[in-house]
A and B are shown apart, each in its own frame.
Chain A
C-alpha cells in the first residue's frame, strides 16, 4: 500500500513539471513585451535596459523558467503587473477562502443530491422516476451553466426577490451567518448542477452493475430486506468507481467556478483570474493556472489512493 502511494506520488511529479512548462510556454508565445504594460513609454533606452536587468528579462529563457519555478516552490509567485507592488500571493490569499467555501458547499450539495437520485434510478430501473431523472440529467449536461445562472437570477432574485442577485454578503451590514448563507445558495446550486447531471448517470450505471452481481443475489436469498441490500451491500461497492469520476470531473468543476463567480459577482479566485486575463496580468494568470492544475493533479492522486483503500481487490 505504502509503495503504491509512493509510486503514485512519483508519477505526479513529472506531471506537475509538465504543467509548469506549459504554463510558462504559453505566456512566452504571447506577442508583445510584458514590460510594455508597466513602463512609461517615454522611458530612456538606458533605463529600459536597467529595468529589464532588474526583472531578469535579459536572462535566457530557461534561466527565467528555472527562477520562476524556484520561487514558486518557495511559495513566491512574484508581483502583480497591474497592481504594482502587490504580491500575487496576497491577491490569491484574499480571494481563496471565498472560492473554497463556494466549492465545498456545491460539492456537498452535488453529492447529497446525486447519490439518492442515482440509487432510485438504479433500483427502479425503467420506471417513471428513472426516466424523469434521466431526462433531467441529459438536460443538465446540455445546458450552459451561465445560462442557468442568468435564468435563476432573473426569476428567483429579480422577479420573486427570494435571493440576492450577487456578492458574498449585503453591503454595509454587520456580519450575519444567515446573510452569508442567503448569498451562497444560488451560486452553489448553479455550480452543482453540471456535476449533479453527470454524477447521477455514473452512480446509476455503477449501481446497476453492482446490483446484478452474485453477492447481491446471495444477500437477497438470505432474506435481507431490500433497504439493507441496497444501502449496506450494494451502495458501498457502487460508490467506489464514482471516486475516480469525481477526480476526473475536477477540471471542469474548477473551470466552472470562473463562470459562476463572474455571474454572481463572487469575489473569488475565478473572478481574480478573469480580471487578470482581461488586463493581461501575466504573473496572476500563471499563478492561478498552475495552482488550479496542481489541484487537479492532487485531486486525481487522492482519488486513486482512496480507490485503492476502498477497493481491496486493487493490486499495488
Chain B
C-alpha cells in the first residue's frame, strides 16, 4: 500500500528494499536456531535418537534372543562373542540392554504423556477459573506432593501386582502435580491479557478460550517439563524394577537386569554385569535432561542468542 509514492525518496527506498520487505522470521525457526547453538543439547538429541532407534530396531540388530540362555557361558566377560558380556544365566547383556531400552522408553513416554495431559487439564481449569475451584484443586495437589513418591509408588504397585500397565498408570496418575502447578501459573498470567479479554468479549466459550487461545501460548514450559519428566520417570522405573516391584523378569528392563548385582560372585567376578545397565540409564536420563534444558533456553525469549 502506497509503496510507489514512497519510493520517490532515497530513504524510503532504502527502508523498503532491505528492512520492511524482509519477512519476519517465524518463531519456530528462531527457536530451532537457538537450540542448534547449544552444542550439548544437539549432541544429546542425537544420542536420544540413536537410543530410540536402537530400541525400535532391537529385534533386527540384537545379536541374540533376550531370554536365550547359554548356561555354560554364564558371566562371560565382554569379548568377541558377547560384546558386553553375559549375565548369571548366560544371556547376552547387549541384547538385553536393547530390549530394556524398549521398556524404559515406553514407560517414560506413555506415563509422561498421561501425566502431562492430566496436569495440563487440572492446571488450566484451576488457573483459568481461579477462586474456589482453584483452591480445591491446588490443595489436592499439595496433598499428593506431600507424599514421598517412592512410598506411594511401592504401596500402589504391591496392591495392583507389578506390571508394565501398573507402572505406567501409577506414574501417570501421581506424576502430574508439577505440571498442574506450572500450567496454572502460566494461565494465571495469561488469562488477564488483552487477547483473552478480546476473546471473552466476543462471547467465545470458556473451554475454547482455554484450549485454543491460551494453551498454545503455554506450550513452551509444558514441553520442557515433559522432557525433564521422562528422565525422572525412567529413574523411578529402574529403581522399582531393581527392587523387584517393576517390570518382572524374564522381560528385561535396565532396572531388573541389576537385580542380582548384589550377589558376591557377581560383585567379585563380573563388573560388566553392574556397569552397563547403569551407564545406559545414566546416559539416557542425562540426554533427556540436556535436551530439556536446551528447549527451555530456546523457548525463553529473555535469553538472547
Contacts and interface: CB of A to CB of B under 8 A. Distances in A.
Interface of A: 14-15, 18-19, 22, 26-27, 29-31, 138-139, 141-147, 150-151, 153-154, 158-159, 250-252, 254-256, 258-259, 262-263, 273-274, 277-278, 280, 285, 288-289, 292-293, 296-297, 300
A154 B271 CA distance: 8
Contacts of A159: 268
A138 B44 CA distance: 13
A29 B159 contact: yes
Most buried by A among B143, B147, B150, B151: B151
Given A15-B142, A142-B289, 12 more contacts: A15-B139, A19-B143, A139-B286, A143-B278, A146-B242, A146-B258, A154-B271, A251-B149, A255-B150, A259-B150, A273-B154, A293-B148
Given A150-B258, A154-B267, A277-B154, A15 B146 contact: yes
Contacts of A22: 143-144, 147
Given A147-B258, A259-B243, A18 B159 contact: no
Interface stretch (B12-20, B72-80, B217-225, B231-239): B231-239
Contacts of B289: 138, 141-142
Nearest to B149: A255
Given A255-B149, A296-B146, A144 B139 contact: no
* B interface secondary structure, majority: helix
Interface string B136-167: 00011011111111111011101110000000
B146 A151 contact: no
A7 B147 CA distance: 22
A147 B285 CA distance: 14
Interface range for B: 35 or more
A18 B142 CA distance: 9
B239 A277 contact: no
B274 interface: yes
A200 B95 CA distance: 37
B101 to A, nearest CB: 15
A271 B72 CA distance: 36
Contacts of B261: 150, 154
B282 interface: yes
A258 B154 CA distance: 10
B121 interface: no
Contacts of B156: 26
A171 B289 CA distance: 43
29 contacts: A14-B139, A19-B146, A19-B147, A27-B155, A138-B290, A142-B231, A142-B282, A142-B286, A144-B235, A144-B278, A145-B239, A146-B258, A147-B282, A151-B274, A151-B278, A153-B262, A153-B267, A154-B271, A158-B264, A255-B150, A255-B151, A258-B150, A258-B151, A258-B154, A259-B239, A274-B243, A277-B158, A289-B151, A296-B148
A15 to B, nearest CB: 6
A87 to B, nearest CB: 21
Interface string B280-294: 011001100110000
B232 to A, nearest CB: 10
A147 B278 contact: yes
B147 A30 contact: no
A162 to B, nearest CB: 14
B158 A280 contact: yes
Contacts of A139: 282, 286
A15 B148 contact: no
Contacts of A145: 239
Which 5 interchain pairs have the tightest Cβ spacing? Answer: A255-B150, A18-B143, A147-B278, A142-B286, A255-B148
Given A139-B286, A141-B289, A154-B271, A289 B152 contact: yes
Contacts of A263: 262
Given A14-B139, A153-B267, A255-B150, A147 B243 contact: no
A30 B282 CA distance: 34
A166 to B, nearest CB: 9
B148 A251 contact: yes
Contacts of B239: 144-146, 259
Contacts of B158: 277-278, 280
A151 B276 CA distance: 11
A144 B233 CA distance: 11
Interface in B249-305: 255, 258, 261-262, 264, 267-268, 271, 274-275, 277-278, 281-282, 285-286, 289-290
A139 B289 CA distance: 10
A297 B143 CA distance: 9
A251 B145 contact: yes
Nearest to B158: A277
B152 to A, nearest CB: 7
A289 B155 contact: yes
A277 B156 CA distance: 9
Contacts of A15: 139, 142-143, 146
Nearest to A264: B262
Contacts of A29: 159
Contact of B274 (A142, A150, A262, A296): A150
Contact of A144 (B238, B262, B267): B238
Contact of B285 (A142, A154, A289): A142
Contacts of B271: 154
A250 B255 CA distance: 24
A144 B281 contact: yes
A183 B120 CA distance: 46
Contacts of A288: 151
Contacts of B281: 143-144, 147
A204 to B, nearest CB: 15
B262 A256 contact: no
